[in-house]
Chain A
Amino acid sequence: MNESATLPSLYRRLLVWLLVPMLLLGSLVLAQAYMASRDTADRAFDRLLEAASLAIAEQVKRQQGQLWMDLPPAALKMLASQAEERVFYALYDANGNFISGNAELPALDDTAADMRFADIEWHDMALRLGIRRSQLEGWRNRQPFEVRVAHTREGREALTQSLFQGSMLRLVAMALLAIGVVLLGIRMALMPLTRLRRAIRARDPRTLAPLDLALPRELAELRETLNDLLARMRRVRANQERFIGDASHQLRTPLAGLSARAELALRQDDPRAWHAALDVMRGSADKTARLASQLLSLTRLNNPEATPEAVAIDLCHTARQAVRDAWTQCHRDGIDLGVEVPAHPVMQQAVEWQLAEALANLLDNARRYGARRITVRVTEGPTRLEVEDDGPGIPESQRLLVLRPFHRGIEGGQGSGLGLAIVDGIARTHGARLSLAPTHPHAEPPGLCVRLQFSEEGTS
């Protein structure tokens, strides 16, 4: 329970991926709303600058040869809202000379429009400046002039705040709603997953039948994958059952033979017959013991959870040892057993007992199937381990089949049918490639060369 709480959760991942972008988006929208509020407030208050400057401009006339104005107090009062802004005004002539005003306000460069606005920083105050270009009304002297009015931003900020607060409230309400919908949506979307989990949990653990459950497309793929896996497991189980059946059969036959032989011997009184029977029985028991030990090896090799750790070993040493072990037997049978290794050690990551087992099996096979000359060879670059003989060899059509347990290359042979299967298993655990090829393809008998070629990364 605790463990599942700390695991990364799909629900949480969806939540993060939906809510974080939503939050970012929300912040963006908020920022945009603030800008829009500010814009609206500016536009509203710019109307005041416009009206005030117009009221002033209307009072500008020409008197005593120069610009004159009768400043309307209402124009200045207009510029101050409830927020009690600081108010500035000035009248400038066409050449930019200050005529009258309570502050020397800066000019604006852009001369396109009649009325221009700008945010300026003036004596440590943030002002909104409005400049009206106008000219005297008259028959003759249409002298241009500029009315500049400015005020501080308090009123604008107050309006911005109140507008922004309105949109913020709406946005927050929408965000809450959206979060609710997202939470609900995720729960609904993950529902089939829960159903799948329940379906799997409710299954009989011994059944490997495919899942049959209506699911959305994404999960249907998962279901198909799962069904594929189940199908493979069914095949593996069938193989295992067949192997067990074969193994029992293989063990039962010699044991039945033993039993029959012993019964036959017991009916006789001649101790020599007993002796002969015991001799036969010992041979038969030896064979059965070897069969059992081979079965054991195969089982151990096929157990993926008991893989021994590979260490660097010298292949030459392993080859020599295998030859030494098999020498007596071969010598008795008159077989010419030899070893061909480089003068220096050939190191390889491997499990030594497994390689020894593989070599022993190969040598045993060669001996049993009538080879007269066997060579164990180690080569470098690429690293190979070979066992070569001049026996009858294996026809090409049989080469894959012989790797299966209990398949004998030659009917009625003396082997257990497990040797090459074991070698194949060992090759697989070492990541090596196993190949069977005739030694002399055109001669008769062609002989057999069994080769284990190790992959590069295991070589050292």
Chain B
Amino acid sequence: MTPLRRLCGLAVLAWTGLTASLACHADPQVLHYPATQAPAQPLEIHGALDSDLMAPLLADFQARHPEIELVYRNLTTLALYRRFMSADATSADVVMSSAMPWQYQLANRGYAQSLDTAEARAWPQASRWRRELFGITFEPVVIVYRRDAIASDASPDSHEALLRLLTEQRQRLTGRVVTYDPWRSGAGYTYATADSHMSPRYWELVAALGGVKAALADTTGDMLDGLIAGRYDIGYNLLGSYARDVVADHPQLEMVIPDDYALVMQRLALIPKRAPHPETARRFLDYLLSRQGQQAIRDKTPLGAVHPDLEGPETAHGLRRALGDAIHPIAIDPGLLATLDALKRHSLLERWQREYTRLSDNAP
């Protein structure tokens, strides 16, 4: 049992990487919006989402509901999960996290209450599970590269093209590629699982990544930093919502959404059954699902909006129009539970490691 337990611990640790890919905060950040209108109605939100990303959204909500006394705690996904499971800690009214399997696990276990509003009923089937778990953002997983290192005609705009590039320019790109470390990063592991389900050729890609001795990073932020600094030429599987703004600020970087298939991550929100203020919680989640809330997500944050009525390049609608069938949101279904299975995780990572080291072991 000992190796297993260690494995589980590792899995839990790995998820902390997902909290916020740009910056990892050890201490929980707290945002507090006092009510400007009596009587004050308290609402406590726990999220694994950077405070500076949440702030405009919370401010918009508060402007619409000035009677709500709003507290936002930014926690790591691990702290969020632990806090949720511990009986004594004060419970949150809304829990939001990018750790999709864990959120699914909580809802599956029956810890979430259902939201029965018009918005919830109209929410796209693919972005919800029952009426308990809602995907409120739409964030593609992307490839970022430096314009100065990669010719525009060799742009890695698909997994196929990336594999070809890595194979053909193996010597030149050695040490110049970066991707998630699936052992240490929960997001990296989730993407690896999804990638491997998309096609068995993923393992060729892993082997090719191993062939160029690709660097393994913990967060999208680390990868972007390395790309800006010129340490890397290509980054594979970055979270598009974070990359978009950075790429816009740095003209030497180019972001592509793979056009053969693009994984899409969704942040999942739920209302715990033991939420102390379910009424305000429902109002907040309903706001997140509403056109106004989604508009705020589209316009004031880099997170993509899901609402089917909203247009724009960053919305689910826009991405689907641009890429069609290539858009592959990570399904909110029991398959996510398999991701959490310790043995499964171990099997997959072992395979990954085997493939990753295949070419380098045979290297002359």
A103 touching B344 by the CB < 8 A rule? no
Instruction: Indicate whether B335 reaches chain A with its CB closer than 8 angstroms.
Output: yes
User: 0/1 per residue, B194-225, Cβ < 8 Å to A?
Assistant: 00010000000000000000000000000000
B341 touching A79 by the CB < 8 A rule? no
Instruction: Indicate whether B82 reaches chain A with its CB closer than 8 angstroms.
Output: no
Instruction: Indicate whether B165 reaches chain A with its CB closer than 8 angstroms.
Output: no
Residues from 102 to 131 in B contacting A, C-beta threshold 8 Å = 105, 108-110, 129-130
A80 touching B334 by the CB < 8 A rule? yes
Instruction: Indicate whether A207 reaches chain B with its CB closer than 8 angstroms.
Output: no
Residues from 71 to 114 in B contacting A, C-beta threshold 8 Å = 105, 108-110
**Interface with B: A23-31, A68-76, A332-340, which one?**
A68-76
* Residues A71 and B343 in contact in the complex (CB < 8 Å), given A102-B105, A124-B110, A125-B110: yes
Please report the number of residue pairs spanning A and B whose Cβ atoms sit closer than 8 angstroms. 61
B337 touching A102 by the CB < 8 A rule? yes
Instruction: Indicate whether A123 reaches chain B with its CB closer than 8 angstroms.
Output: yes
C-alpha gap A125/B111 in the complex (Å): 11
- Interface magnitude class on chain B: 20 to 34
Instruction: Indicate whether A77 reaches chain B with its CB closer than 8 angstroms.
Output: yes
A73 touching B197 by the CB < 8 A rule? yes
* A190, chain B: closest CB distance, angstroms: 56
Instruction: Indicate whether A86 reaches chain B with its CB closer than 8 angstroms.
Output: yes
C-alpha gap A37/B226 in the complex (Å): 62
- Interface magnitude class on chain A: 20 to 34
* B114, chain A: closest CB distance, angstroms: 11
* Residues A76 and B3 in contact in the complex (CB < 8 Å), given A70-B344, A70-B347, A103-B109: no
Instruction: Indicate whether B150 reaches chain A with its CB closer than 8 angstroms.
Output: no
Instruction: Indicate whether B340 reaches chain A with its CB closer than 8 angstroms.
Output: yes
Instruction: Indicate whether B342 reaches chain A with its CB closer than 8 angstroms.
Output: yes
A99: B residues at CB distance < 8 A: 343
A84 touching B129 by the CB < 8 A rule? yes
B334 touching A79 by the CB < 8 A rule? yes
Q: Which of A68, A77, A87 touches B108 (beta carbons < 8 Å)?
A: A87
C-alpha gap A306/B333 in the complex (Å): 95
B109 touching A84 by the CB < 8 A rule? no
Most central of A87, A102, A123 by chain B CB within 10 Å: A102
C-alpha gap A80/B333 in the complex (Å): 8
C-alpha gap A73/B344 in the complex (Å): 10
C-alpha gap A80/B197 in the complex (Å): 19
* A314, chain B: closest CB distance, angstroms: 92
B108: A residues at CB distance < 8 A: 86-88, 102
* Residues A76 and B129 in contact in the complex (CB < 8 Å), given A71-B344, A102-B105, A102-B108: no
A64: B residues at CB distance < 8 A: 3
Instruction: Indicate whether B338 reaches chain A with its CB closer than 8 angstroms.
Output: yes
Q: Which of B105, B333, B343 touches A77 (beta carbons < 8 Å)?
A: B333
* B351, chain A: closest CB distance, angstroms: 9
C-alpha gap A99/B1 in the complex (Å): 9
B110 touching A70 by the CB < 8 A rule? no
Instruction: Indicate whether A40 reaches chain B with its CB closer than 8 angstroms.
Output: no
A77 touching B110 by the CB < 8 A rule? no
Residues from 297 to 333 in A contacting B, C-beta threshold 8 Å = none
Instruction: Indicate whether A135 reaches chain B with its CB closer than 8 angstroms.
Output: no
* B332, chain A: closest CB distance, angstroms: 9
C-alpha gap A159/B337 in the complex (Å): 25
B344: A residues at CB distance < 8 A: 69-71, 100
User: 0/1 per residue, A80-108, Cβ < 8 Å to B?
Assistant: 10001011110100000001111100000
B340: A residues at CB distance < 8 A: 102
Q: Which residue of A lies closest to B129 (CB)?
A: A84
* Residues A76 and B343 in contact in the complex (CB < 8 Å), given A87-B108, A124-B110: no
B4: A residues at CB distance < 8 A: 100
* A–B complex contacts, Cβ < 8 Å, 8 sampled: A69-B341, A70-B344, A71-B338, A80-B333, A100-B4, A102-B340, A124-B110, A125-B110
Query: Which A residues fall within an 8 A CB radius of B?
Result: 64, 68-77, 79-80, 84, 86-89, 91, 99-103, 123-125
Which 9 pairs, one residue from A and one from B, show the smallest C-beta to C-beta distance?
A73-B335, A76-B334, A73-B338, A87-B334, A71-B344, A70-B347, A71-B341, A71-B338, A100-B343
